[in-house]
Structure 1
Amino acid sequence: MTSSPSPLRVALIGNGFMGAAHSQAWRVAPRFFDLPLRPEMTVLVGRDAARAEDAAEQWGWAESSDDWRSVVARDDIDVVDIVTPGDSHAEIACAALSAGKHVICEKPLANSVDEARAMADAARSATADGVLAMVGFTYRRVPAVTLARDLVAQGHIGDVRQVTASYHQDWLVDPQSPFTWRLDKSLAGSGALGDIGAHAIDLAQFVTGYTVTSVSGTIETLVPERPDADGRLSPVTVDDRAVFVGRLDNGVLGNFEVSRMSTGRKNSLRLEVAGTLGALSFDLEDLNSLQFYDATVDPARRGFSKIVVTEPEHPYIEAWWPAGHMLGYEHGFSHQVRDFVHAVSAGEQPRPSFDDGLQVQRVLDAVERSSAAESVWSAV
């Protein structure tokens, strides 16, 4: 009789939207993937005890708590998964790493470069004791995105010459949309730039294999006040839109644009990479497909072709459904759990690392500094 894998006991800190997504992943991943360790949903932590208890029962956690510090200190916790607002990431992650817990932390890594640097330093120190940390840029785990990365790495589009990345949403188009913590800089760090711009930056870097080294950009807040829960107007202290050019370390320019005010765009994360031999195009609103242009074929037959990424030969797909049956938003989180558990079991650094998260934080900071200095503008 084969012995069952050793348990990997997980504490989830945070019980909002991302709490649901991560809970789904911890519950589902071990039932579809052959994992070397057995994740156990040990405890969910939220600021409000009653809400945390309800969420734990709904999502399948064994127990709940409203005290993350006591949970991090427990001997029966192996992994701390952080899905709280950005203002608490650094404190929780550094405490968890110091306590010998592996850590997953949602993006962006922190609210400032200083906080992100402290987290990356703590993660590097923890590796000496076999403690590992990863930042949750989950869209890397969309099979079509991973396939795009593989095609670029294998040389199918030749040398990368041009990168265009954008992330457009419309949930703030209505000026009466209520004020939330995501509109408060002290909690969120930044607005569209950090919330969804971080994804666009990471996706461009992940797929191309190159790193943004300098930027010129601008940010703007289109609706300066929004009604709070009591109907009073609260100041919006973050950006609604950000536009910037980034120079990659291979010399190529990338165009980046992010907005939560793009009427009609619900969750459109788009990436197009053009090279000397071809091009790739991806849109999260069509996440089961990848567009590929092969410039090496006869000109009469050239054109973007649609690759439906549902074959067992495609990344992650063999664990799921028969070919042609689609995956959804939540599957990326299950893939994240799969990769993280394999890395922890092997004692290998999971990617993206906290150092990767710090690098993205530096890009976000550089865009804000460029905008504040108005260095993007030249008189006409």
Structure 2
Amino acid sequence: MIYLDYQATTPLAPEARDAMLPWLGGPESMGFGNPHSPHRMGRQAAAAVEAARDHVAALLPPGGRVIFTSGATEAINLAIKGTARAGRAIAASAIEHAAVLDCAEAVRETCPTHILPVDADGLVGADALLPEGLGLLALMQVNNEIGTIQPVDALAQAAHAAGALVLCDAVQGAGKLSAPAGADLIAISAHKLYGPKGIGALWVRDGVELVPQMHGGGQEQGLRSGTLSPALCAGFGAAAKLARARMDADSAHVEMLWRHARSLFADWVLNGSAPDRWKGNLNIRRQGLDVARLMSDLRDVCFSAGSACASGSGRPSHVLRALGLSDAEAKSSIRIGFGRYTTMEELEEAAGKINQAAALQE
């Protein structure tokens, strides 16, 4: 099996797995304590959580705090609903993840939502017109479907000048690119940077006030009630520490794979910008391609037709439609994602199989 779906999830780093194991023990171990308990085992678990928090925070700008969540979707909901103020507008790009767009839609009755268009490369212009009365600008760092890198910091300056906060979905960029320094709230997910599933974080700039969306025991600084998992936190922290140490090496590896992949798929059309892009994402299309049939024919190659969160809907990608692609063009597109553990041999073998299967449809 060849795995080329790194935007959906990344393999768990061995270092992250090893960091989790001590906190997954049974009754004979010392690792099952509740990190919110005051006794010795609880304090040990709490220390592991705080060490992990420091490692995650090191990926993010200074001058803020990390709130652990169940994932980026919860982090985004906390950010949007926690800062929503009646009458203050929310602006989001047309290619945001559903977690942003659906959450903004949920508060539309009190906070008008404005969608910012993108150009044919999938980029919001740095001079985009922001609506009056703006309370929050939501702009992702790296798009999950086409990999384009948005001018977050440039637009953040305009949003701040208008008195608005900036939320950045940095799920695809965290641990790979420098964090967006201009954001006030940043959502990230462990399993997109070689950590475990089931945990994410919201970084909150100092001075930004949030209204809690979950109530109970008041854990996570009163903003996110619920018992934390020391194992998940430890895995997240180890993955974040490793990503920071390997950022340059990982980027160079991905750049090498990207250049070779472009030659392997030379007769396919690229979706999205080539220069303004995380190079671990290759979204390409081929006229008349039946993607469902292609995926069925290639059971031993894992790639996708777009966002894993929207797979099976049968609808054309809202991201590709926003670029101006027709329904037919959007439905003839595939996404190939690679990263730290992808080898050149795997990429070449997968490309050969994909190209051969696609040619048989012509």
- Shorter-chain TM-score above 0.5: no
Higher relative contact order (CA 8 A, sep 6+): 2
